[in-house]
Structure 1
Amino acid sequence: MSRPTAEQALENAARLLEAAELEMTNLPLMERYDELATSWLSYANLSVEVDRT
């Protein structure tokens, strides 16, 4: 099974942040989307670092 690329991770993060913006009245869900987006951003960063080595 192949791992997601950094680009795919960034796309996932962007999608989650857009979803978070739509949940302004549901703070717990908005925060969860933000946490997931942050995880994808961290993954993208690690993926880039791995690809450099």
Structure 2
Amino acid sequence: MTVTADQAIANAARLLDRAEIELTNLPLMERLDELAASWLQLAAMLLERERV
């Protein structure tokens, strides 16, 4: 399965939405934020690859 930049951004947005719900569970909130950041890094790499 190939992931597009748009899908990676959508995954990050979904994780960040979920993180906002986890206000009482800081470790989970931080982990969701880290996962979202990873998706955004992947999206950036995919967009950069498209430009080349």
Output the TM-score relative to the length of structure 2. Answer: 0.96
Equivalent residue pairs, number? 52
Give the ranges of 4+ consecutive aligned residues of structure 1 lying more than 4 Å apart after TM superposition. Answer: none
Q: What's the offset of the Cα at 1:3?
A: 2.0
Stretches of structure 2 that go unaligned for 5 or more consecutive residues are none
The alignment-based identity, stated in percent, is 60
Q: What's the offset of the Cα at 1:21?
A: 0.2
Residue identity matched to 1:14: A
Q: Which residue of 2 aligns with 1:48?
A: 47
Q: Which residue of 2 aligns with 1:19?
A: 18
Q: Which residue of 2 aligns with 1:4?
A: 3
Q: What's the offset of the Cα at 1:52?
A: 1.0
